[in-house]
Amino acid sequence: MSFARAEVRHHNGVPTIFVDGQPLHRVAMTGCALDEPAAARALIEDGADALLLPIEAGTHCWMGEGSYDWSHAEKRLAFLEQHGGGTRWLIRLRLDLLAPWFAQAYPFEVHSLPCTSSDSQSWIPDLNQQSAISNPQSVAVANIASPIWNEKVCGLVRDFVSWLRATRWAPRTIGFMLNAGSNDEWLILDSDETTRGRYHPVYTREFRNWLRRTYREEATLRAAWNDPSASFETATCPTGHMRNGSHARGPFSLRDPAAERPAIDYYRFLSTTLADHFAAVCRAAKEAAGGPILCGGFGDPLWRESGVYSYAQERGHCLTQRLKECPWVDFLSLSDLGRRAASEVALVCSEETPLFQAAMSEELLGCELACHRPLLLGAAQEQWRLTGVAFDTYELHDLARSDFPGGQYRLFIFVNCARVSERAAEGVRRWRNDDRVFCWTYAPAVLDERRLDPAIGSELIGMRLGWKRERRQIRVLVDDSGYVLTRGGEQLSFGTEGSVGPVFFADDPEACVFGRLRDGGEAAFALRHHDGWKSVYLAMLNFGPQLLRNLARFAGARVEPASDATHSPPCGTAPLQRHRS
């Protein structure tokens, strides 16, 4: 037997799943339908072409290394065979929840052991909060940063796919969704602990190994860390002052690479490791399938967790670009398949910038730092949805991709792009033509791998910035000058309630200034014209709906009438999955 031939292609300009040459238009989550025939039939009647079928192979089928009992999988597959009509199936495997034998064989690679010992280690999370674990004492919960775990589950995936390939269900199977970590999204489970500087031993061990591979020589490490005592043998994940500086109560919202390279390296290690482990299990599935088949997983929406501060880096979800360029990964979100980018405004966020940003844990966000939540893009977008201006969301590096539809956009808004790699910068320059408008917020292109300095990005953003190494409430006061950008006057004013630092501002004699910082009077809303494009700078990213409408009008993008603004269609999110035509 062989699997259905499945791939992602463009269909009428939209990334779409094709099976045996025919497009599928809807993949439905099965949920409770696994044990309810009527519910399964309801999904089919609702138009589902394919069903997402969870199989707990790690806990129910894996009896030991090389030993399996596939009866659980057979039961699940037989149920859909009987009640699933003519649908195709995407098999969902969760790979960090494993049978107890794994913890006994590899006790240092798991978060919790299948026992009730009272002497739990400080790094073990409260697994009762993980909704996917109905009985935390009956499973081993692997640390997904462990290469030992990754190697073993790659073997599990290969053996499962090889077994399924030989069954009568193979022709109905179109691919595999391979999940692990918090919310099944390849995020570490214990970020509440790591944000407090308490680390599972796997992180320390693998961080040291990553440093060895990255720097090779200790002299290179010491130079990068500006620490003559740095050593591969003694390096630790960030704690103490280095860790405390990552929170909003610390000095600044951006890390200076000259002083905080150890923390930046830790974040890069974590994101790189999780991305590579995800790619490895997808590769295992594809190689065992022996033909074109889909492989991917869930991806947490980056833009919700980024902004002036971020907590994406604490959970290890900052390098989806690494996965987009990987030949083994076909999708990161099923919801993005079949979605068309159709607006004239592109919202651009950077997944690399959080590696250089101060972090906030979710607990801190919800409590003492609630005043900073509007500085995350997810909160800002909630108000932008009321503008009557549709926008698509992209990652910064997408602008350099050959299939990026940049020609349709009149306005690009860069919301957290403090770190712009040279490859990303080439993508930005590619679209600086046709009188487009580029709007940069807060601290654009102020970082490279060695230093924090706004002079780094002045050519790229098209405006010279100044800065002050201090914390301040960044309130931008706007005057109605009669220009289209300032329509609304004082009502356009925006900024922070709490203090943020460093403070950035426009310091360009060739720029027109439309707004200034309340405290200090520096230029905080400025425009500069260039040959073929325009640059706008805003000193903070949480500007309101009316200013977004002004920006869109100024750029020549479509704007719904004001009376229809609150009824505008949902803003689109451009596909973030990797797809091949």
Domain definitions of the chain by residue range? 6-200+269-296, 342-567
**DSSP letter string, 20-79:** TTEEE--EEE-GGGGG-HHHHHHHHHTT-SEEEEE--IIIIIEEETTEE-THHHHHHHHH
Domain with residues 342-567, CATH architecture: 3-Layer(aba) Sandwich (3.40)
Q: What is the pLDDT of residue 337?
A: 54
Residue 93 has pLDDT above 70, yes or no: yes
Residue type (1 letter), 33: A
Give residue 368's pLDDT band: very low, low, confident or very high (50, 70, 90): very low
What is the pLDDT, as a whole number, of residue 240? Answer: 73
Of the listed ranges 50-64, 108-122, 256-270, the one predicted with least confidence? 108-122
Q: Residue 440: helix, strand or coil by DSSP?
A: strand
Residue, of 191 and 261, whose pLDDT is higher: 261
pLDDT at 339: 54
* Residue 80 φ then ψ, to 5°: -70, -30
Mean pLDDT of 522-529: 98
Which of 555, 473, 475, 458 minimizes the C-alpha distance to 509?
458
> What letter does residue 295 receive in the DSSP assignment?
E
Q: What single letter denotes the amino acid at residue 317?
A: H
- Quick one: which H or E segment has residue 424? helix 422-430
pLDDT over 70 at 122, yes or no: no
Pick from 548, 533, 546, 486: nearest CA to 514: 486
**Cα torsion angle, 486, 427, 416, 280, sign:** positive
H-type alpha helices, 290-397: 312-315, 320-324, 362-366, 377-384
Binned at pLDDT 50, 70 and 90, residue 193 comes out as confident
Any idea which of 73-77, 342-346, 359-363 has the lowest mean pLDDT? 359-363
Q: Binning pLDDT at 50, 70 and 90, where does residue 336 land?
A: low
CB atoms near residue 37 (< 10 Å): 12
Average pLDDT (344-363) is 82
pTM of the model: 0.88
> Stretch 337-357: mean pLDDT, rounded?
82
Tens-digit pLDDT profile for residues 17-29: 888 888 877 776 5
> Which of 3.20.20, 3.40.50, 2.60.40, 3.30.160 is the CATH number of 6-200+269-296?
3.20.20
